[in-house]
Structure 1
Amino acid sequence: MAGVHTAERPDCLIVTGMPGAGKSTVTRLIADRLPRSARLDGDFISRLVVSGRVGALGEPAEEAARQVELCNRNLCTLANNFSDAGFTPVVDWVIPDGAQLDFFVSLLPARRVLFVVLAPGIDVCRYRNTLRDPRERFDFDGYEDLESAMKRELGDVGWWFDTSALSPEQTADRIVREAGVKAATGQRRPPGGHWVTE
């Protein structure tokens, strides 16, 4: 099956991208299209910390990094639990660098990880962000730096999917159909090495 594997032990699908790339909308649509799925929203999981919460870009930086790692651990624990129960985990979260993806893959050892980067371009991300409900907008001025870092560290990993000319529905349809071939991360890369895509 070329798409997302949904058998006894489903694949784990991670959909990432810059703010405004369409992750939330697309992951909801993907989850709806799969026969058994669970959508895991990293923003929601991170907000489970109520008192003492520090956002990913907040201060102090050490505490922000600790809480990002906690969120990643929680996402992977949920993904493993849902996959073991026969549900395809669909993770919606910003994965900004290779170290964070390495961490995810190390905590999902018993299943294939599919990694999709929604990459419509900075201008499209900025525009889409303006279309959101004001309560859901994300004020972000680091697009250039984030895009550069992601391409440098993750440019040869998974499926970089230019969705600028596609609707969310078309994007979700293609991911469900093609992610199994285009988005497999393969084995965990060695330190300083490169991912081997399947």
Structure 2
Amino acid sequence: MTTAGAPDCLIVTGMPGAGKSTVTRLVAERLPRAARLDGDELNRMIVSGFVWALGEPADEAALQVELLHRNLCALANNFADAGFTPLIDAMIPSREKLDFFLDLLPSRQVLFVVLAPGIEVCRYRNTIRDPQDRFDFDGYEALDADMKRQFGDAGWWFDTAALTPGQTADRIVREASRRALMN
């Protein structure tokens, strides 16, 4: 997954329950030097005053989402400069947000993977998570339609419904360089 000696930056997104956290951890374990950058973990650094992405006040939520994305990209650039392949695990719901990431990663070969096992699989996977990791979300249909409309054929839309997390990670390691390249 590296090109011309510089690590690629792999961005993995998908709806809640798609498997982003599990798969990015497994992909990172399969690479010789990799850093997993989890948007949820980074958000937990805010000790007081946190507003989640769909929370209120909306202007503060938007500010914190932008801060999260800037921090993820800054970390990705730092890890890549040190010879690590950064794997960004984040919910990126629109082409506008993806372009923001790409603007902050200008000198990187960015690979973009959308884990797309389908709405019912995402719902099911969310129900079998540890209760503290569950994400109560009822906007799957709208999010799925928006992502498909906004991203079009950007990156690699990877249907993982019939695959184990390990099989998904193996395929990403093998195929992302040719299927997910953004620039």
**TM-score normalized with structure 1 length:** 0.91
Q: Check if 1:26 corresponds to 2:23.
A: yes
Question: What is the CA RMSD across the aligned residues, in angstroms?
Answer: 0.9
Residues 35 and 79, structure 2, Cα contact 8 Å, conserved in 1: yes
Structure 1: stretches of 5+ with no match in the other structure:
187-198
Aligned to 1:55: 52
Distance in structure 2 (CA, Å) of the matches to 1:56 and 1:110: 28
Distance in structure 2 (CA, Å) of the matches to 1:158 and 1:50: 34
2:171 to 170, 174, 195: 174
Distance in structure 1 (CA, Å) of the matches to 2:105 and 2:68: 14
Alpha-carbon spacing, 1:132–1:7, altered in 2? closer, same or farther (3 Å): farther
1:100 to 91, 97, 100: 97
Partner SS state of residue 95, structure 1: coil
Aligned to 1:138: 135
Q: 1:40-69, CA deviations, whole angstroms, 9 ceiling, x for partnerless residues? A: 000111121111110001001111000000
Distance in structure 1 (CA, Å) of the matches to 2:136 and 2:44: 17
Q: Check if 1:120 corresponds to 2:109.
A: no
Structure 1 segments, 4+ long, off by >4 Å, are none
Distance in structure 2 (CA, Å) of the matches to 1:138 and 1:30: 23
Partner SS state of residue 117, structure 1: strand
Aligned to 1:39: 36
Residues 24 and 87, structure 2, Cα contact 8 Å, conserved in 1: yes
Distance in structure 2 (CA, Å) of the matches to 1:87 and 1:6: 12
| Mapping 1:60-71, distance limit 5 Å | 60-71=57-68
**TM-score normalized with structure 2 length:** 0.98
Name the count of aligned residue pairs.
183
Aligned to 1:152: 149
Aligned to 1:72: 69
Aligned to 2:7: 10
How far apart are residue 8 of structure 1 and its match? 3.4
Distance in structure 2 (CA, Å) of the matches to 1:114 and 1:63: 30
Identity across aligned pairs (percent)? 72
Alpha-carbon spacing, 1:7–1:88, altered in 2? closer, same or farther (3 Å): farther
Partner SS state of residue 35, structure 2: strand
Distance in structure 2 (CA, Å) of the matches to 1:158 and 1:176: 15
Residues 6 and 86, structure 1, Cα contact 8 Å, conserved in 2: no
Residues 29 and 172, structure 1, Cα contact 8 Å, conserved in 2: yes
Partner SS state of residue 166, structure 1: coil
